Amino acid sequence: MATEFIDRVTLHVSAGDGGNGCASIRREKFKPLGGPDGANGGDGGDVVLLVDDQTTTLLPYHRNPHRSAPNGGIGKGDLHHGADGETLVLPVPVGTVVKSIAGEVIADLVEPGTEFVAAAGGRGGLGNAALASTKRKAPGFALLGEPGETRDLVLELKSVADIALIGFPSAGKSSLIAALSAARPKIAEYPFTTLVPNLGVVEAGDVRFTVADVPGLIPGASEGRGLGLEFLRHVERCAALVHVIDMATWEPGRDPVSDLATIEAELAQYAVDIAHDGGDLLPLTERPTLVALNKIDIPDGQDLADIVRADLEAAGYRVFDVSAVSHRGLRELSFAMAELVAAERARREAEPAVPERIVIRPRAVDDAGFRVTVEETADGPVFRILGDKPERWIVQTDFANDEAVGYLGDRLERLGVEEELFKAGAVPGSTVVIGPGAGVVFDWDPTMVGGAELLGQRGTDLRLEETGRASRKERKAAFHERMDAKAEARAVLEAERLAEKRARESGA
């Protein structure tokens, strides 16, 4: 049973979420103040693309395009850290190109064993043992794990070959690659027999190289007609092209010279986005090119080849008369292809090796790590805080825990957020949003005092309480107010009772 060939898929990958940290206090006999022992959560698993030379198709990702890595384990008490999520390894064929949905090339995977992190797992949250300090000795909260990265990627398979055979359908490309190598592609007497690219290994003298055969091109291929243009990505890496021209076409109105001109015009419409040699992008029409006049073994085939050879050579092409059936001219053609491959390999070896550069981009001295922008709305200005640290801290905060919210406020204050809000024109009560989109909304209160020394019981923060605990004087004043109100109410009721009594007596 033949394997279905898939060379382009859209892959949806989701890395694992980090596990939540644990808030726990050690409780042992005779140790009432054992201290915090909540452990950290585990990191979420990554999604990694691994180049595997035994994988030849993207079919598994066509059938199952959604792939997710496991989450990290939650932290537990007694300093039992959560387990890290396992890395999800996805094997891809040699020559896989990773692109964004918008078409931007992200990675070109051509070497077996190369790994590319498609989605990074989220970091696990810290437990209260890691958050303890001299001022916050027993935190009643822990940090939440960060969500894993989610990405939509386009995987395109581009064959790694030295020479590409191109031409009209039924020009004999598949027969030619079968005669030159041990490849056994499907061959039949009708157009579009080749539905998938075929690869064959050819030896000419001491040179061993790979030849690729792609589905045939037809006029209008650049506008979506036929199959060939869709598969031209498989010849982008080729150092040279071989035009296979049919000397025995059965279609009226066709001749070898016009066939070549038509194919060249279609190649010019194809935009190359992967360089064939790792350097600048070279259009397909500018690659070294040979012309193979195929099927000269049939009647009138050799005569037609003799007629058109002069015109093709005058145009600058090296022309070879070949027959895939009788193997005439194949030796000369294979050695000519080997010359181009050897010249390209020699050129690459002669190029000076480019040392690997490690780029270090230190943060600027005036970079605060965040920025404050002002957005005008119908309800007044909204101050939005954007930056890696504030946005990450928001994700890590458990807003159901007042102490955790107070800890977030202290972190933002130390980062300098309040000072920047003052500079931006914020006033008490202004709406502050942290993060893009809906984000997390706060009513800013710059009068709130910072510091862990104002904490209440574990899990609470007195700064977030609407009313504090009343003093003895305040409780005494409140008691007298209640007593006076009761006395006044009793006096009013007594006056009403006496008035009703006098009214009854006068009536009698």
Percent of the chain with pLDDT over 70: 82
Residue pointed to by tokens 């009854």: 504
Q: What's the confidence (pLDDT) of residue 456?
A: 54
- The pLDDT tens digits for 129-139 are 999 888 888 88
- The pLDDT tens digits for 226-241 are 545 566 777 777 888 8
Cα–Cα–Cα angle for 247, 250, 252, rounded to 5 degrees: 105
Query: Looking at beta carbons, which pairs linking 377-381 to residues 24 or more positions away fall under 8 Å?
Result: 379/431, 380/430, 380/431, 381/425, 381/430, 381/431
- The pLDDT tens digits for 291-322 are 888 888 888 888 888 888 888 888 888 989 88
Which segment of 94-103, 104-113, 246-255 scores lowest on mean pLDDT? 246-255
Q: Which of 47, 48, 49 is nearest to 15 (CA)?
A: 47
Q: State the pTM of this model.
A: 0.72
Write out the E strands in 270-333: 289-294, 318-321
Res. 325 pLDDT band, cuts 50 70 90: confident
Cβ 278 vs Cβ 324: under 8 Å: no
Q: What's the confidence (pLDDT) of residue 493?
A: 84
HEC per residue, 157-199: ECCCCCEEEECCCCCCHHHHHHHHCCCCCCCCCCCCCCCCCEE
Mean pLDDT of 176-191: 61
> Three-class SS of residue 155?
strand
Dihedral over alpha carbons 414, 417, 423, 426 (to 10 degrees): -130
- The pLDDT tens digits for 266-283 are 777 777 766 554 444 577
Res. 423 pLDDT band, cuts 50 70 90: confident
> Three-class SS of residue 77?
coil
Farthest-apart Cα atoms in the chain, separation:
148
HEC per residue, 231-284: HHHHHCCCCEEEEEEECCCCCCCCCHHHHHHHHHHHHHCCCCCCCCCCCCCCCH
Mean pLDDT of 211-226: 62
Checking if the pLDDT of 247 tops 90, the result is no
Res. 191 pLDDT band, cuts 50 70 90: very low
Q: What's the confidence (pLDDT) of residue 46?
A: 96
Q: What's the confidence (pLDDT) of residue 2?
A: 43
Distance CA 59, CA 198 (A): 17
Checking if the pLDDT of 225 tops 80, the result is no
Looking at every residue in the chain, the average pLDDT score rounds to 81
Q: What's the confidence (pLDDT) of residue 217?
A: 63
